A and B are shown apart, each in its own frame.
Chain A
Amino acid sequence: MKKRKFKHIALRVALFAIILFTLDRSIGFILLTLADNVKDTGSMGMVNKIFRSDARVYVLGSSRAAHQFDSDILANALGKKVYNAGRDGVGLSYSRFAADLIYQDKKPELIILQIEPQNLMNACYYGQTVALTDNAPYLCMSDKTKELLFSKSKWFRLKYLSHTFRFNGQFLFFIADLPKKDSIGNGYIPLHKTTDISTLNEKQYTRARSYNNDASPEAFGDLRELIQLIKAKGSKVVMVSSPRWRKDYTLPEVYYEIADMIQDLANRENVPYLQVLQETHPEFKDPALFADASHLNYKGSEIFSQIVAEFILSETGAE
C-alpha cells in the first residue's frame, strides 16, 4: 500500500516536471518568436535591427556610440551604408555581443569600435550584469556573452537552463514594445537638447584613485579578443573615444593613463585609434555642442562624425 502510494507520488512529480520542462521550452520559444517582431529601441528591438541591417560598416558601443556617430554623415563620407549598433547603458560586453550577432550572417568591411577609458575600468567592467542579462534570450549566439554571464554567479548556469528565465525582467517591456513602430532607421539616435554651461559645471566630478577606477586586465583582455575576432572575420577595425564636457577641459589623470593603455593595445594590434578630446579638438570647448556632460547633441555629433569619417579615410584608405 505504502509502496503504491509512493509510486503514485513519484509519477505525479515526474509528470509535473515533464510539463514544467515542456512549458518552459514552449514559453521560451514563443517569447523568442515574438521578440523577432519588436522594432523599438529596447534590447530585443536593437538585436532585431542588427539582424535585419545590411550595412558594410557597423558602429559598436554604448550610448556614446548611439547618440554621437551620425550614420548618414559617416555613410556619405565613406561611401558605404553604415549602421549604428550602439545602445544606452551598456559596456564593452555589449559590443562583443553585437559583434557576435553581426558575424552570424554578415561580412562587414569595417567595424568602428567606440571605446572609452571608463569602459575599461573595474567598476564599469564588473557592473555590466544588467546589459548582459538583457542579452540572455540570445545566449546561444554568443559564447562570450554566455561565459561572461555565467561568471557573474555560480548559479547562473543552472538558472539559464530555463528558457523562460532568459526573458526575466524584460517580458513586460518587450510585450509593450511589440506594437511600436521602428523609430531608428540606421541606429543613430540624435540628442536635440542643449544643456546650459552652469548645469554642466555643477555636474563636474573628479574620479578619485581607487580599485573601481583602475584599469581592468579582464576588460583589456576582452577588448583584445574582440579586436582579434573582428580581424579574423576579415573586417577592418577602428577604435574611437569621444569627448566629454569638462569645465577646465582636462580629464582626471586616470583617464589619460587608461587611454595610453588603449593606445598601446591599438599599436600592438595594429588598429587605428582616435581620441577626440576637448584638448585635441578645441571645437568641443563649446558647451552648445553637448546634451549633457557625457554626450554630444546632434550639432556636436555632426562635427564629431565628420572628424571620425576623416580619420577613417586617412587611416584605412577606404573610399
Chain B
Amino acid sequence: MLFNSVEFFIFFAIVVSLYFALPHRFRWVLLLGSSYYFYMCWKAEYAVLILTSTVISYTCAILTGKTDRRFYRKLLLTISVASNLGILFVFKYFNFFSESFAALLSKFSISVDTPALKLLLPVGISFYTFQTLSYTIDVYRGKLKPEKHFGIFALYVSFFPQLVAGPIERATNLLPQFYRKAEFDYERFRNGLQLIGWGLFKKIVIADRLAIYVDSVYNNAEHHSGFSCLVATYFFAFQIYCDFSGYSDIAIGAAKMLGFDLMKNFNRPYFAATVTDFWHRWHISLSTWLRDYLYIPLGGNRKGKARTNFNLMITMLLGGIWHGANWTFVIWGSLHGLFLLTSKMTLSYRDRFWNMCRVPGKAVKAVRVFVTFNLVCLAWIFFRANHVSDAFLVLNKIFTDFGKLFVHDMSMSHGLIGIFILLAVQLCQSRSSIKNGFNKYPVYVRWTVYYFIIFTILLLGTDKASQFIYFQF
C-alpha cells in the first residue's frame, strides 16, 4: 500500500475515524493492528521478521533493565544487536558479500561456488532495524527505561506512518507519545493535511515526472550524450529529494493528524553551503542516528585528527552500505566521507581566500551552495547508477562526450515547473517558517493555495502510484 495510492487514503481515513472514536486505552490496539495490516499488504510473511525483531529487542531491553551487572547488560545488548543486524544481513547483504567474496577470489584465479539466497528484500527492514537498535542501545546506556507494555513497544517498531521509510524515530521521542491522550485537534489536523498535500505534490508532480527522464537516460546511458547525462543527474537530485522528503512529509503529516510528532527529516538540503551542512539537512533522522550510535561511540572527534577522519570515513561508508547492497552505495558513502574530510581540512584556506577576495557574503554563500550542490550531484551519479561501470560511463560522457540533449517533453516540462514551484517555496521558507507564517494568512489565500496544489497534482502529476525510492532500503 503506497502513500500515493487511493487504497492508502481509504485505509487512512478509516484509521483516523476509528482512532478518534475509540477510547484512549484501546487506541494502541487499533494502531498496532493497522500498522501490521499496512505492512502485510506488501508481503504478509515478512510480518514475522518485524515481530521477531520486536520480541528480541523487547526481551533484551526488559532483561537489561532488571540487571545492574555490566557483563549481563553487555551480553544482552550484544544478543539484541547481533540478532537484529543478523536478520538485516541475511535479507539484505548476504548475496552481496557472497558475490563480492567470490569475485575477489576469482581475481586470484580461485573459483568458488558461493551460495545465493533467493530472498525478496523486506520493505523498510533497514529503518525498523535501526529503530530497534537505537532503543536497545539507549536502554543499555541507561538513557531510557525499558518499555514494559509489549503492545506499545511493538507499535513503536511498526507505527505505520514511518514504518517503511522513516523518519527513524528515537524511542525517547515516540514511546511517550503513545501514552499521551490525543484529542482531536483541528490545528494539528490541518497542519497534517497541509504536509500530506505538499508531500504528494513533491512525489507525484516532481519526483515521478522527473523519474521518466532519469530512468530513460540512466537505464541506457551508453545511448545518451553527456549533456543528457548531466541533466538526468540534476533531475535525479530533485527526484530523490522530492521522492524521499515527499514520503517524509506524508509520514509526518499522517502522524500529526493522529496526534503524534515525528522528527523532521529534511531541511532544504540543496541550500546547504557545505557538505557538512548538507548532512545536517538531509535525512536528518539517519545522519543523527549514525552520529549518536556509530560516530560518537567510535570516538567521534575526541581521539585526535587522524582518528576523527577515520571515524568520519567509516561512518559515511556504513551510511552508504545502509542504503543498499551494492558497490555504488559504498562509493557514494565514501565520496561523501571524502567530501566531509576535504571540507574540514580546507575550511580555513577557503575562508582566507574569500576574505582576500572581498566578495560580499551573499555571493560567497551562493558560490558555496552551488559548489556543494554539484558535489552532492557528483555523488548522486553513483547512487543512481545501476552498476559502478554505469556510473563511470556517465561521468566519462559528461566530461568527454557532451553532445546533444535528449528531450522528453512531458517529464521535462512538468518536472521543471514542479522544481520551480519547489524552489520558490523553499526560498520563501528561508525567510520565515512558511508553515507557521502560512497559517496566519486569511482563509481565502490559504484555500487558493490548497486548490492550486490540488489542481496542479490533477493536471501535471503522474496518474499511477509508483513506489518511493527509499522503500527499497
Contacts and interface: CB of A to CB of B under 8 A. Distances in A.
B455 A164 contact: yes
B451 A164 contact: no
Contact of B447 (A9, A16, A164): A16
Interface in B405-448: 409-410, 413-414, 417, 447
Nearest to A165: B458
A20 B454 contact: yes
Given A5-B186, A19-B451, A159-B463, A169 B458 contact: no
B460 interface: yes
Nearest to B459: A171
A158 B409 CA distance: 28
B460 A20 contact: no
B464 interface: yes
Interface string A162-184: 10110111011100000000000
B459 A167 contact: yes
A168 B454 contact: no
B461 interface: yes
A172 B450 CA distance: 20
Interface string B452-473: 0011001111111000000000
A164 B460 CA distance: 10
A5 B186 CA distance: 9
Interface in A183-238: none
Contact of B463 (A19, A23, A168): A168
B80 to A, nearest CB: 42
Given A16-B447, A169-B410, A172-B413, A153 B455 contact: no
B460 A155 contact: no
B6 interface: yes
Nearest to A158: B6
| Main secondary structure on A side of the interface with B | helix
B368 to A, nearest CB: 34
Contacts of A261: none
A16 B147 CA distance: 43
A171 B458 CA distance: 10
A9 B186 contact: yes
B447 A168 contact: no
Contact of A164 (B409, B417, B459): B459
Nearest to A168: B463
Contacts, number: 47
| Main secondary structure on B side of the interface with A | helix
Contacts of B455: 23-24, 27, 164
A182 to B, nearest CB: 21
B463 A133 contact: yes
Given A168-B459, A169-B410, A173-B409, A153 B186 contact: no
A168 B409 contact: no
Nearest to B183: A2
Contacts of B186: 5, 9
Interface in B1-36: 5-6
Given A159-B463, A173-B409, A168 B458 contact: yes
Contact of A153 (B409, B410, B461, B464): B464
Contact of A171 (B409, B454, B460): B460
A168 B451 contact: no
A135 to B, nearest CB: 13
A153 B6 CA distance: 11
B413 A20 contact: no
A20 B450 CA distance: 10
Contacts of B6: 155, 158-159
Nearest to B443: A12
Contacts of B413: 172-173
A283 B103 CA distance: 55
A5 B458 CA distance: 31
Contact of A20 (B410, B414, B451): B451
B379 to A, nearest CB: 32
A287 B97 CA distance: 53
Contacts of B463: 133, 159, 165, 168-169
B460 A19 contact: no
Interface string A1-43: 0000100010000001001100110010000000000000000
Given A20-B454, A155-B6, A168 B414 contact: no
Contact of B461 (A19, A24, A133, A168): A168
What are the 9 tightest A-B residue pairs by CB atom distance, in nearest-first order?
Answer: A171-B459, A155-B6, A165-B458, A164-B458, A172-B413, A168-B463, A9-B186, A164-B455, A162-B458
26 contacts: A9-B186, A16-B450, A19-B451, A24-B455, A24-B458, A153-B464, A155-B5, A155-B6, A159-B6, A159-B463, A162-B458, A164-B455, A164-B459, A165-B458, A165-B459, A165-B463, A168-B459, A168-B460, A168-B463, A169-B410, A169-B414, A169-B463, A171-B460, A172-B413, A172-B414, A173-B413
Interface of A: 5, 9, 16, 19-20, 23-24, 27, 133, 153, 155, 158-159, 162, 164-165, 167-169, 171-173
